[in-house]
Amino acid sequence: MAAGADLPVVDLAPFFTEDDSGGVTRATEAVREACRTHGCFRAVNHGVPAELMARALELSAAFFALPDDEKARARPAEGTVAPLPVGYARQPAYSADKHEYVLVFDPKLRFNEYPAEPAGFREAVEECYAKFTELGLLVQEVLNECMGLPPGFLRDYNGDRGFDFMSAMRYFPATEEENNGLSAHEDGNCITFVIQDGVGGLEVLKDGEWVPAEPVDGSIIVNIGDVIQVLSNNKLKSPTHRVVRKQPVHRHSFAFFFNIHGDKWIEPLPEFTTKIGESPRYRGFVFNEYMQMRMRAKIHPPSRPEDVVHNNITHYAI
79 or 219: whose pLDDT is higher?
A: 219
> What is the structure's pLDDT at 87?
87
> What is the structure's pLDDT at 81?
65
Q: How far apart are CA 269 and CA 232, in angstroms?
A: 7
Query: pLDDT tens digits, residue range 55-108?
Result: 999 999 999 999 988 898 887 767 666 667 788 888 766 577 788 999 988 888
Q: How far apart are CA 231 and CA 268, in angstroms?
A: 4
Confidence of residue 182 (pLDDT cuts 50, 70, 90): confident
How far CA 12 is from CA of 212, 223, 268, in Å, comes to 22, 15, 28
Q: What is the pTM of this model?
A: 0.93
> What is the structure's pLDDT at 4?
40
Q: Burial of 17 by CB count in 10 Å (0-12 exposed, 13-18 middle, 19+ buried)?
A: exposed
CB 233 within 8 A of CB 273: yes
Q: What are the sequence ranges of the domains in the chain?
A: 48-316
Domain 48-316, architecture per CATH: Sandwich (2.60)
Q: How far apart are CA 257 and CA 136, in angstroms?
A: 9
Q: Please count the CA atoms within 13 angstroms of the CA of 37 that sit on its side-chain side.
A: 13
Q: How far apart are CA 168 and CA 55, in angstroms?
A: 13
CB 212 within 8 A of CB 246: no
What totals of helices (H) and strands (E) does the chain contain, helices first?
7, 15
> What is the structure's pLDDT at 6?
78
In this predicted structure, the answer to whether residue 236 has a pLDDT above a threshold of 80 is yes
Do β-strands 99-104 and 87-90 pair in parallel, antiparallel, or remain unpaired? antiparallel
